[in-house]
Amino acid sequence: MRDTAAAHYNREAMSLQPRNQRLGYAAWIAVCIIWGTTYLGIRVALQTMPPFLMGGLRWTAAGLLLAAGLAMRGEPVRHLFRSPAAWRRFIIYGFLLIGIGNGGVVVGELWVPSGLTAVAIATTPFWMVGVEAILPGGETLTLRKVLGLLIGFGGILLLVWPDLWAGGGYNRSFIAGIIAIQIACVGWAIGTSYRKRYPHEVSIPMAAAFEMIAGGVIMLVVGSGRGEWAHLSFNTVTASVYVYLTLIGAIGGFVAYSYACEHLPMSTVSLYAYVNPMIAVVLGAVLLGEPFGPRTLVALAIVLIGVTIVQRAPAAKAVVIADLG
């Protein structure tokens, strides 16, 4: 009788695998589309929303909604409020991944087009390799990794060089935006490396929810200190975009990404990082009239070639470009 039940369970599990895999690919496509559009959404939201308040309101709301949903499903939450160590990690990782990671992107998009921002964010694996090389127990730099780094940053240089000299001199605003975006990449790289070494003792979704809350609150504090509340306003477009960034970009993207990671090989899931910049570049050009031409396409190709070399270097762990948008 027990053998019959086990055989029935195994047949059901095998029948579910193809369906779960199909849903996994659907989730991966959703990640490509959702996270490819967030850069455009940020650019539009900044029309009436100051940068840190926009990010702070978005991530705080997303984290609270996600935590509430998980609690309703039975995830343990109450014990977290009695764990200073857990909150210390939420604050540290929220600061690095959300506060610096997303905060740098939001600030950068004040002066850098959304498509170029997405391409610049593609350098995140390079910073991860650098951070890992200097941390105790990290992976050493190999000649192949260095070659990938040089090729990737060469692509970024090709992308931004003409804009650095707009108007016959230094384009200070554009330079500031590029620096902010690269600081975002560094924040994400450090946060990811430390999170890998000191993981949370709760589920990944619950940890993400409280990291969103911690990072969002930090951004709200910064925005309040900068006096951004006096400049906060909404219109129909920016309000709709804010809701999209919160519900679809943050929560929906995370849920789809988690499902894809669970049912597809990580090497397959990581390919979204090659799709996102292309979606962002096309959307920025079509909807906002952002620059789009052969130089952008060549620069994007060079950056992705560099990423491929770094990811396929011997003994290298899979590095995934995160959603900083």
Name the more confident of 180 and 277: 180
Q: How far apart are CA 42 and CA 107, in angstroms?
A: 10
DSSP state of 112: S
- The CA angle 272-210-241, to the nearest 5 degrees, is 55
- List C-alpha distances in Å: 105 to 43, 64, 248, 259, 322: 10, 22, 18, 26, 12
| 187 touches 104 (CB < 8 A) | yes
Supply the pLDDT for residue 138: 67
87-112: average pLDDT: 91
- Contacts of 171 by beta carbon, 8 Å cutoff, 6+ apart: 163, 164, 165
Q: What percent of the chain has pLDDT over 70?
A: 85
Is the per-residue pLDDT at 316 higher than 80?
no
**Residue 95, C-beta contacts closer than 8 angstroms, at least 6 positions apart:** 191, 214, 215, 218
Cβ atoms of residues 299 and 122 within 8 Å:
no
State pLDDT tens for residues 249-288. Answer: 999 988 888 788 778 876 677 677 778 888 888 898 888 8
Determine the pLDDT at residue 130. 80
Output b/e per residue, 199-235; b: 16+ Cβ within 10 A: ebebeebbbbbbbbbbbbbbbbebbeeeebeeeeeee
- Given a cut of 70, whether residue 151 has pLDDT beyond it is yes
State the pLDDT at residue 12.
46
**Helical (H) or strand (E) element with 75:** none
Cα separation, 116 vs 39, whole angstroms: 10
3-state class (DSSP) for residue 29: helix
pLDDT at 129: 79
pLDDT at 6: 46
Looking at mean pLDDT, say which of 127-136, 149-158, 238-247 comes out highest. 238-247
Average pLDDT score over the chain: 82
Instruction: Express each pLDDT in 224-233 by its tens digit.
Output: 999 999 999 9
What phi, psi does 271 have (nearest 5°)? -65, -15
Torsional sign, CA 189, 193, 196, 200: negative
Listed residue (250, 245, 188, 253) closest to 28, CA to CA: 253
List of residues 6+ apart from 282 with CB closer than 8 A = 115, 292
Residue 25 or residue 77, greater confidence: 25
pLDDT tens sequence across 183-208: 998 998 888 888 777 776 777 788 88
- In this predicted structure, what is the pLDDT of residue 167? 59
Confidence grade of residue 318 (pLDDT, cut at 50, 70, 90) = very low
* Distances from the Cα of 117 to the Cα of 47, 59, 178, 180, 304, angstroms: 17, 20, 8, 10, 14
Determine the Cα–Cα distance for residues 246 and 61; give it in Å rounded to an integer. 7
Question: Which pLDDT does position 203 carry in this prediction?
Answer: 77
The whole-angstrom separation of Cα 136 and Cα 123 is: 22
pTM to 2 decimal places: 0.81
Q: Identify the pLDDT of residue 166.
A: 62
What average pLDDT does the segment 50-54 reach? Answer: 96
Structure-token pair, residue 284: 């920025």
CA distance 192 to 32: 21
Range scoring the smallest mean pLDDT among 25-29, 40-44, 70-74, 319-323: 319-323
Confidence check: pLDDT of 82 > 80: no
